[in-house]
Amino acid sequence: MTTLRDHDHGDHGDHGERPEEPAGRRTLPVSDREQQVLDRIDRARRRAPRVREDRITMSHGSGGKATHTLIEAVFLSAFRNPLLDPLEDAADLRLPAARAAFTTDSYVVSPLFFPGGDIGDLAVNGTVNDLSVTGATPLYLSAGFILEEGFPVADLVRLTESMRKAAAEAGVRIVTGDTKVVQRGKADGCYINTAGVGVFERDVTLGVARSRPGDAIIVSGPVGDHGITIMLARGELDIEADVRSDTAPLNGLIAGLLDAVPVPGLRAMRDATRGGVATILNEIATAAQAGVLVSEGDIPVRDEVRGASELLGIDPMYVACEGRLVAVVDDAYADHAVAALRAQPLGEQAAVIGHVTAEQPGIVRLKTAFGGTRIVDMLVGDPLPRIC
Amino acid sequence: MTTLRDHDHGDHGDHGERPEEPAGRRTLPVSDREQQVLDRIDRARRRAPRVREDRITMSHGSGGKATHTLIEAVFLSAFRNPLLDPLEDAADLRLPAARAAFTTDSYVVSPLFFPGGDIGDLAVNGTVNDLSVTGATPLYLSAGFILEEGFPVADLVRLTESMRKAAAEAGVRIVTGDTKVVQRGKADGCYINTAGVGVFERDVTLGVARSRPGDAIIVSGPVGDHGITIMLARGELDIEADVRSDTAPLNGLIAGLLDAVPVPGLRAMRDATRGGVATILNEIATAAQAGVLVSEGDIPVRDEVRGASELLGIDPMYVACEGRLVAVVDDAYADHAVAALRAQPLGEQAAVIGHVTAEQPGIVRLKTAFGGTRIVDMLVGDPLPRIC
């Protein structure tokens, strides 16, 4: 759990500790400067501690009193840390390496709350994962909110609490943010953008273009859970299934893989979000100008997800995951990589699903359960809009 | 001005060409690796070079073929650079200093196009300015688009072209991005989030909390131009005035100020956006627990802006600027600071508008043109919604 106290070190000194320490514990020394920051925030808190309105108003986007109250009562309350608290125009980071990763994603998922997660933890985990798959260690996130006038403040509090928990679990801090409010009918409750900065503690350079014929393609677990969960959570379909989003931070799983498989044996990692595993396979084939051949029977899919997909007429290979890794590794390291993934709970069902081939460059082929082969093209159209 | 060439470090070889150079011109050496990247992109371009639709469809947010085409034909075409082009999940940055600044802002301005600018250059300049006022040199931006189904592709091309130009002028690169599409009625054409990373090339730490009684408060030019321009551009008011947004990158102006006024003589800088100069003065008073006393007659306001403000019943001190700096400096350096600002076109009308005081901590007071004094409080409500 992230609290200010846990991050309370010298002049921005060690950002290294894991934020999941309990909130009440105050064991670390506090510098004069940090105490000043804390005192200032505490004073501001005493003056304007809570949002009186039940719903977001245009005033919350004015930059004035209502905005300040919202920031202090909701965002600082959830994300509090010494880098965020001064509320200057940008956070001041110390980076332990000169090579950094930088990414962004906007989240427009509908509904905002769903089995297994909500837009808040999705927004944290998604950006943590985009940093992690490059081989970087995620450290800092920004959070930009676009709120629709009338959005319930209680929902905002709930999803910022999810963000806080997700950030703590992934060991990252939300250090800078922004809030805009638009009129009713100009958004859909709440959109969140997160950008992330990580550092390369290891000397790795990964990328799907590095894939070579013969390389093994691995997925870290069952595919399609997130997308099917969202579709069913919309309640527009008369289908019930016991599914939940797989939203999770992959940085721990990836650190284990990086330990087990030396680069350049590990060629590339991607997290299979929008467009699913099928899209990543196509990106591999295109970037590497090689073929990809995977076996339908080797791709892990939960029974509930397979059943719902069939009813929806959707191939689970195209369905978004939010906690699944696709890795390309030199085939010599394939068993090693699968073992490293299976050693962690998030990777228990990791499997080799196919290989990169010299034949059919640019094309992804699937060996079906019936022994045939079909081409798996990029998604045309959008069968699953606003899945993330 | 910072240019790409100045940031040419590490083994990404030459990220050095200025983004504003025509695509055909190739005067710098290209490493084998970069040539591979460019060749790959060129191949992809030949296959899918243009968006056939006139308007954004839900498919453009699917992560599939339409998304890839949009990215290649619009975003890569505008922002092309070797850090962005690989289209991996995160950009791989080399940072020339271990201390970095990180910020984010979402832009929801309405209308999207207005005299003097559009949401595109606003989104670049705003984030460049948020980095610059911390004393950092802005280097890299992310761009996250939330598009409404039906948004004209031509408008998207126009505003990405504005972003390209603004990034080139500020010497920054757009290195990572994301696009989401929501259904009609769930947004308002286009929202843009930019996050930014800069590095501290100078050993400065600034912040409004560092302000001390006696310090001079300086603005770099006339206030309120942006906000009034947006209000009039909406066409809902029967007022015409020759005003245009002041949207501009402040990093050049700020570099000049940092050269002229040694820290700690320079206490803090802020760019006066939402909430205007009045909000910044209140932030100074609150963070420093000091008073602020400014003179109405010393605050530069264009006649057209003053006239329109009077008709609208709005105090220009609360109206957003997008290219104006507020600086707090030790009074001994005030003349020096004003001279440094006036030496550049963006700062020609820089002026001392008042001082930090020991009296009335937490309160901002204004000496009116009539010799009286009134309190300038934080904005309550939002007289100018969606100004940025």
Contact: B90, A68; criterion CB under 8 Å: no
- From chain B, the residues in CB contact with A198 under 8 A are 90
Nearest to B64 among A89, A180, A379 (CB): A379
Contact A103/B318 with Cβ under 8 angstroms?
Answer: no
User: In the 8-state DSSP scheme, what is residue A135?
Assistant: T
Distance CA B381, CA A149 (A): 13
| CB of A115 closer than 8 Å to CB of B155 | no
| Pick from B102, B188, B274: CB nearest A91 | B102
Averaged confidence pLDDT in chain A = 88
The yes-or-no verdict on residue A194 having pLDDT over 80 is: yes
Interchain pair A63, B379: CB under 8 A: yes
Closest Cα in chain B to A44: B286
The more confident residue out of A217 and A41 is A217
How high is the pLDDT of residue A20? Answer: 38
Find, among A320, A329, A375, the residue nearest to A350 by Cα: A329
Token pair 């590794």 is found at: A329
pLDDT of residue B23: 36
Helix axes of A153-170 and A119-132: crossing angle, nearest 10 degrees:
30
CB pairs under 8 A between A and B: 299
Residues A255-282: what's their mean pLDDT? 95
Classify burial at B29, counting beta carbons within 10 Å of its beta carbon; exposed 0-12, middle 13-18, buried 19 or more. exposed
Mean pLDDT of A273-295: 95
pLDDT at position B122 is 98
Q: Which of B166, B149, B173, B179 is nearest to B74 (CA)?
A: B179
Contact A89 B134 (CB under 8 A): yes
Residues from chain B contacting residue A44 (CB–CB below 8 Å): 286
What is residue A303's predicted lDDT score, i.e. its pLDDT? 97
Return the pLDDT at A84: 87
Q: Give CA torsion, residues B201, B205, B211, B216, to 10 deg.
A: -10
Q: How far is CA B16 from CA B12, B97, B171, in A?
A: 10, 18, 11
pLDDT tens string A288-326: 999 999 999 999 999 999 999 999 899 999 999 999 999
Rounded Cα distance, B212 and B290, in Å: 7
What whole-number distance in Å separates Cα of residue A107 and Cα of residue A124?
A: 10
* DSSP H or E stretch at residue A288: helix A276-288
Query: B111: cis peptide before it, omega within 30°?
Result: yes
Longest CA pairwise span in chain A (Å):
70
Facing residues of A92 across strands?
Answer: B101
Is residue A11 scored above 70 in pLDDT?
A: no
Tell me the two tokens of residue B352.
């001392």
Q: What average pLDDT does this structure show over A29-56?
A: 65
Give the span between the Cα atoms of B301 and B288, in whole angstroms: 27
Q: What string of H, E and C letters represents the secondary structure of chain B?
A: CCCHHHHCCHHHCCCCCCCCCCCCCCCCCCCHHHHHHHHHHHHHHHHCCCCCCCECCHHHHCCCHHHHHHHHHHHHHHHCCCCCCCCCCCEEEECCCCEEEEEEEEECCCCCEECCEEHHHHHHHHHHHHHHCCCCEEEEEEEEEEEECCCEHHHHHHHHHHHHHHHHHHCCEEEEEEEEEECCCCCCCEEEEEEEEEECCCCCCCCHHHCCCCCEEEECCCCCHHHHHHHHHCCCCCCCCCCCCCCCCCHHHHHHHHHHCCCCCEEEEEECCCCHHHHHHHHHHHHHCCEEEEEHHHCCCCHHHHHHHHHHCCCHHHCCCCCCEEEEECHHHHHHHHHHHHCCHHHCCCEEEEEEECCCCCCEEEECCCCCEEECCCCCCCCCCCCC
What is the greatest pairwise CA distance in chain B?
70
Instruction: Tell me how far the alpha carbon of residue B249 is from its chain's centroid.
Output: 6
How far apart CA B311 and CA B285 sit, in angstroms, is: 30
Option in B92, B102, B287 nearest A101 (CB): B92
Q: Which has the minimum average pLDDT: A24-28, A100-104, B32-36, B276-280?
A: A24-28
Structure-derived torsion over alpha carbons of residues A33, A34, A40, A44, reported in degrees to the nearest 10:
160
Give chain B's radius of gyration (CA, Å). Answer: 22
Helical residues (DSSP H) of A15-148, grouped into ranges: 32-47, 65-70, 77-79, 119-132
Q: What angle do CA A103, B68, A144 make, to 5 degrees?
A: 30
- Residue A241 and residue A304 in contact, taking contact as beta carbons nearer than 8 Å: yes
Tell me the nearest-neighbour CA distance from B169 into chain A, angstroms.
21
Q: Please give the Cα distance from B28 to B39 (Å, whole number).
A: 16
State the pLDDT at residue B199. 95
Chain A positions in Cβ-Cβ contact with residue B43 (cut-off 8 Å): 289
Name the minimum distance, in Å, from the CA of A88 to any CA of chain B. 7
pLDDT by residue for chain B (388 residues), tens only, comes to: 222 222 333 333 333 333 333 333 333 445 666 566 656 655 554 555 588 899 999 999 888 888 888 988 999 888 988 888 888 888 988 888 789 999 999 999 999 999 999 999 999 999 999 999 999 999 999 999 999 999 999 999 999 999 999 999 999 999 999 999 999 999 999 999 999 999 999 999 999 999 999 999 999 999 999 999 999 999 888 888 899 999 999 999 999 999 999 889 999 999 999 999 999 999 999 999 999 999 999 999 999 999 999 998 999 999 999 999 999 999 999 999 999 999 999 999 999 999 999 999 999 999 998 889 999 998 888 878 999 9
Long-range pairs for A117-120: beta carbons < 8 A, 24 or more residues apart: A117/A162, A117/A244, A117/A245, A117/A247, A117/A322, A118/A158, A118/A159, A118/A162, A119/A159, A119/A190, A119/A192, A120/A158, A120/A159, A120/A160, A120/A161, A120/A162, A120/A163, A120/A166, A120/A192
Confidence bin at A381 (pLDDT 50/70/90): confident
CB-CB contact of A215 with A331 (8 Å):
yes
Neighbours of A228 (CB within 10 A): 31
> Which long-range contacts does B28-36 make (Cβ < 8 Å, 24+ apart)?
B34/B82, B36/A209
CA separation for the pair B323, A209 (Å, rounded) = 41
Residue A296 DSSP class: G
Provide the residue count of chain A.
388
Kindly report the CA angle at B333 between B209 and A91, in degrees rounded to 5? 30
Nearest alpha carbon to residue A261 among A322, A168, A338, A207: A338
Specify whether the CB–CB gap between A170 and A346 falls below 8 A: no
Report whether A378 contacts A313 (CB < 8 A). Answer: no
- Does the N-terminal peptide bond of residue B152 adopt cis geometry, omega within 30 degrees of 0? no
Tokens in use for B377? 């409080």
Let me know: does B191 contact B287? Beta carbons within 8 Å: no
Q: How far is B283 from chain A (nearest CA, A)?
A: 10
Could you give the C-alpha distances from B75 to A311, B57, B99, in angstroms and in order? 36, 16, 30
Half-sphere exposure of A41 (CA within 13 A, CB side): 22
Q: What span, in angstroms and rounded, lies between the C-alpha atoms of B276 and A17?
A: 38
CA atoms of B100 and A142, how far apart (whole Å): 14
What is the mean predicted confidence (pLDDT) over A38-51? 60
Ramachandran angles phi, psi of A266, nearest 5°: -90, 120
| CB nearest to A134's CB, from B92, B133, B181 | B92
Band of pLDDT at residue A359, cut at 50, 70 and 90: very high
Reported ipTM: the value is 0.87
- CA pair distance A274, A126, nearest whole angstrom: 11
- In angstroms, what is the C-alpha Rg of chain A? 22
Residue range A243-250: mean pLDDT, rounded: 98
**Set of chain B residues whose Cβ sits within 8 Å of the Cβ of A100:** 92-95, 100, 197
**DSSP β-bridge partners for residue B181:** B147
Give the count of beta carbons closer than 10 Å to the beta carbon of residue A203. 9
Chain A: give the shortest CA distance to residue B78, in Å. Answer: 18
Taking CB atoms and an 8 Å limit, are A90 and B130 in contact across chains? yes
What confidence score (pLDDT) does residue A36 get? 66
Residue of chain B whose Cα is closest to the Cα of A186: B187
Find the residue in A nearest to B271 (Cα).
Answer: A89
List Cβ neighbours of A283 (8 Å cut-off, separation of 6 or more): A208, A270, B87
Whole-number Å distance between alpha carbons of A245 and A343: 22
Q: Where do we find the tokens 């350079």?
A: A205
